[in-house]
Amino acid sequence: MKNLLGILGLLCIGCAFAPAIFAQVDGTGWTLQNINPIADVQKPWNVPLSQRFTSGAGVYHTWVFNTDQPFSEGDTTKPRTELRLPDYTSGQWQFSAQMMVPSDTSNWCIFQIHTGDAQSPTYGSTTGMLFFESSNGGSIHWYDSTELAGHLYNTWFQLNVVHDLDNHTQYYYVNNKLIYTAADNGATDFYFKCGDYGQTGFSHEGENNIKNVKIWYQP
């Protein structure tokens, strides 16, 4: 890891509005990538995109119901509305965004590092997922187990995820605090996703508000 103290921006702790930080963590040397976050939005296959996703005033609004269809006909996964970001295969990559999850959302995945589609059968579909649950005032969990951060319902928070393919390690930050570190699954092709993806025991509706989605890279 680079210098963990190298954080850009200003943090507003406990504010009702979005904190000012939407840059990278983990030191300097990151290069901002030119991406279109909504180039690929996965949503239930049988409804128009406009019924599960809107974009305006700089905010992406995703929502989906637990009775919805999966994102492709015949697929067996649970319902989702997610931004699917570009693949990456080497070096260090970082996702950054601000999110606000309404208080009627529980047991939905809001972020994941997905294994590249061709490698998923060998390495597993994901190497990291963050579930949002109703406990502790709205909390982020590593999959369906360890709570990583709480008291987040109806509040903008900053999420940064660093994935270092050189040492196959992933680092998770909320409001610029390192909250979790884990080894990845050993694959060489991944992509970031964010939004709403249903999990066991999910609430009737999953909903998320996302802004300032950025991808950073350094070799």
Residue 40 lies in a domain: yes
Cβ count within 10 A of residue 132: 26
CATH assignment of the domain containing 201: 2.60.120.200
List the beta strands (DSSP E) in 77-204: 80-88, 92-100, 108-115, 126-133, 139-142, 147-149, 157-164, 169-174, 177-183, 190-198
CB contact set of 120 (below 8 Å; sequence gap of 6+)? 114
Residues in the chain with pLDDT < 70?
A: 1-23, 26
Q: What's the confidence (pLDDT) of residue 23?
A: 63
Q: How far apart are CA 79 and CA 47, in angstroms?
A: 12
Q: Which pTM was predicted?
A: 0.88
Q: What is the DSSP letter of 118?
A: T
Q: What's the confidence (pLDDT) of residue 66?
A: 97
Residue 63 lies in a domain: yes
Q: Which domain holds residue 98?
A: 31-218
Q: What's the confidence (pLDDT) of residue 29?
A: 86
Express each pLDDT in 74-84 by its tens digit.
Answer: 999 999 999 99
Q: What's the confidence (pLDDT) of residue 16?
A: 38
- Number of independent structural domains in the chain: 1
Pairing mode of beta strands 139-142, 126-133 = antiparallel
Q: What's the confidence (pLDDT) of residue 22?
A: 52
Q: What's the confidence (pLDDT) of residue 4?
A: 32
Q: What's the confidence (pLDDT) of residue 172?
A: 97
Residue 25 lies in a domain: no
